[in-house]
Structure 1
Amino acid sequence: MRLKSSLVVTAAALATLVTPLLASPAAAASGTEETVSANAYYGRMVIGWRINPYRLDPIQIIAQDRATDGYVVGIRLVTNGEVGHRVWSMRTVPSGQTSASWSTHLEAGWIDNAYFEVCKIKASNGVIASCDASRVMYNPFDDSSV
């Protein structure tokens, strides 16, 4: 009887150690980071790639308007993957400010790669005058093993 209760206690102790290892959170890769810089603007994104579920989390965004030229600076994410080529909503530096930052996440199925565009937008009518794209950030996970 003493052996049986020792085995039960040992099994319970092992279960408390092993269960957290088996039920670990979703796999995550360290963030990929890119910047776009010009005389009139600056943009930066850091993207954390996750699987199970597929998501970009966190996405940290910074945009700066460096010129008083009648243009607003905007920044938007572009992804390619399972749901095709997607251009996400533009975020703009609010009027009267020189910089803005956001932290967000995105769930859109498997994403092969992402990049962002920093754009000059005419303040008077909201028309995009020009955009510069970052380098492409590739998903660090190999989808053939998922």
Structure 2
Amino acid sequence: MRLKSGLVATAAALATVVIPLIASPAAAASGTEATGSTNWYYGRMVIGWRINPYRLDPIQIVAQDRATDGYVVGIRLITNGASGHKVWSMRTVPSGQTTASWSTYPEAGWIDNASFEVCQIGASSGVIARCESSSVMNNPFDDSSM
């Protein structure tokens, strides 16, 4: 009986070590984060990187309009990778609000890195007045063996 319970304990201990080692790399890497701010905006993106399928999952986006200057604040994701340089659609802080947040799950093939731009957009014209870029968030996975 002692031998049998010893074998069960050993098997359980091995399972806790071996199973994570053979788990697929499809699991998410811990998120990378970039923020940016000035007197007219605050922007933040937190990205969870996944493979199998390649995607950014999830992306948490926050934008804040800090100035009452007749401009709307918009934020957009920018990625570089297998699909080339891609500028994703702009998300804007709705009129009458100072802060907005979104979650998204874009799939775009292998993505090497991502960043975001926060832009001032004319409230009446819809024309982008200026944009500021965040730091670059690099994919934590090594694709050399893929």
Q: TM-score range by the shorter chain?
A: 0.7 to 0.9
Q: How far apart, CA to CA, are the structure 1 residues paired with 2:55 and 2:24?
A: 17
User: What is the CA RMSD across the aligned residues, in angstroms?
Assistant: 1.9
Give the 3-state SS of the residue equivalent to 1:28 in structure 2.
coil
Q: TM-score of the superposition, structure 1-length normalised?
A: 0.84
**What do the CA deviations read for 1:59-84 (whole angstroms, capped 9, x no partner)?**
00000001100000000000000000
| Residue 45 (structure 1) aligned with residue 45 (structure 2) | yes
**What do the CA deviations read for 1:104-135 (whole angstroms, capped 9, x no partner)?**
11100000000000000000110000000000
Q: How far apart, CA to CA, are the structure 2 residues paired with 1:23 and 1:73?
A: 42
| Residue 100 (structure 1) aligned with residue 73 (structure 2) | no
| Residue 118 (structure 1) aligned with residue 118 (structure 2) | yes
**Residue pairs, 1:60-99, within 5 angstroms:** 60-99=60-99
The runs of at least 4 aligned residues of structure 1 exceeding 6 Å deviation read none
Percent of aligned pairs with the same amino acid:
79
Q: How far apart, CA to CA, are the structure 1 residues paired with 2:145 and 2:51?
A: 11
> Given residue 133 of structure 1, which amino acid in structure 2 is its aligned partner?
S
C-alpha displacement of 1:28: 1.3
C-alpha displacement of 1:27: 2.2
- Gap runs ≥5 in structure 1: 1-13
**What do the CA deviations read for 1:17-67 (whole angstroms, capped 9, x no partner)?**
79xx46768221100000010001100000000011100001000000011
Give the 3-state SS of the residue equivalent to 2:67 in structure 1.
coil
Q: Say which structure is richer in strand.
A: 1
Q: Contact 2:121/2:127 (CA < 8 Å) preserved in 1? A: yes
Q: Contact 2:79/2:87 (CA < 8 Å) preserved in 1? A: yes
Q: Contact 2:75/2:116 (CA < 8 Å) preserved in 1? A: yes
> Given residue 119 of structure 1, which amino acid in structure 2 is its aligned partner?
C
C-alpha displacement of 1:145: 1.7
Q: TM-score of the superposition, structure 2-length normalised?
A: 0.84
| Higher Cα radius of gyration | 1
Identify if the C-alpha distance between structure 1 residues 144 and 23 changes in structure 2 by more than 3 Å, giving closer, same or farther.
closer
> Given residue 32 of structure 2, which amino acid in structure 1 is its aligned partner?
T
Q: How far apart, CA to CA, are the structure 2 residues paired with 1:143 and 1:102?
A: 28
